[in-house]
Amino acid sequence: MPFKIERNDITNVHTEAIVNTANPKPIIGTGTDTAIYHAAGMEQMLEARQKIGEIKRGEAAYTQSFNLAANGIRYIIHTVGVRWEGGEQGEIDVMRNCYRNSLRLAEELNCKSISIPLLATGNYEFPKETALNIALDEISHFLFTSEMEVVLIVYDKESFQVSKKIFDGVKSFINDNYIADKSGGKSDEKSGQETKKHDEGKIVPAVKDFISRTKDTPNFQDLLRTYIREKNLDNPTVYKRSLIIDKKLFSKIISGHIPNKRSAMALGLALELSLNEYEQFLATANFALNPSNMFDTVVKYCVLQKIYDIMKVDSLLFQMDLPCFNE
């Protein structure tokens, strides 16, 4: 799975590289920088950092991971951000370069995975929504050409914020459309988890009527090919947009394999379908959006609002303490 959001301390992750929000000068900074120095070993880290010298804002350099190698971390990538000054001083471009150069450097180091904290929301005081949008945009662009796994690390919920307009919109939509389960606990309202039988493709009673009305639709593979063609897409674009489906699995799907519900939902988002198209697409795989499932309700809102970027959908799910597509 090439992207996920994780609430963690970056010194406790197990990716091959981690990104440090470094001081431009070869001294120990504050916050994440201090935590990484302590975890890696103060003296050896400081010596390695001094060999690099000053790092310009937006640029990135690397050191070995020292004590953090015990976690499977091979490299620490040091990047230098900039303080928010209202957005008119080139701050956004600098922070984009922080992500861009850190990811490129990890690729040059042949890393298969990297963890990046949400940069600039602490001492640099970037607006949380702006900081998140920069991170998602740059990671998304990078993953379209790379197979690396990227983990966005969020230390606390206060530093993570999706658009207030979108968040308020989905809360209102849930109030109007979500139907609390009254069957005795078949679905978990908090987590959005479904019963095992539903995940395996068997239909819960609440959605049988919808599927019965779609018996004359093409099969899943026919509809998948049709939408790819009609929307002027190609296979790699679709599975890369889905984030949770790789080339091998997509080849199986296009050849007749029926994916699980979450993969089918991800493909529907990748195809940028209207709600009617989306529901029809799921129905051909014997799935439907369950009004008693919070995860499904949030995804339905995203389809209606044409929020198709799965990173942004995952960010909204994460903000609401729901499981993401990659979980």
Active-site residue list: 33
**Contacts of 326 by beta carbon, 8 Å cutoff, 6+ apart:** 1, 3, 4, 243, 244, 314
Distance between the two ends of the chain, CA-based, in angstroms? 9
Residue among 298, 230, 305, 247 nearest 274 (CA): 305
Helices of type H across 31-81:
32-40, 42-52
Indicate the Cα dihedral angle 223, 302, 202, 3, nearest 10°.
Answer: 90
304: left (phi over 0), alpha (psi -120 to 50) or beta: alpha
The helix (H) or strand (E) run that includes residue 109 is none
Query: Which two structure tokens, joined as six digits, stand for 6?
Result: 């994780």
Residue among 69, 28, 68, 18 nearest 49 (CA): 28
DSSP 167-192: HHHHHHHHHHH-----SSSSS-TTT-
Residue among 168, 190, 160, 206 nearest 301 (CA): 168
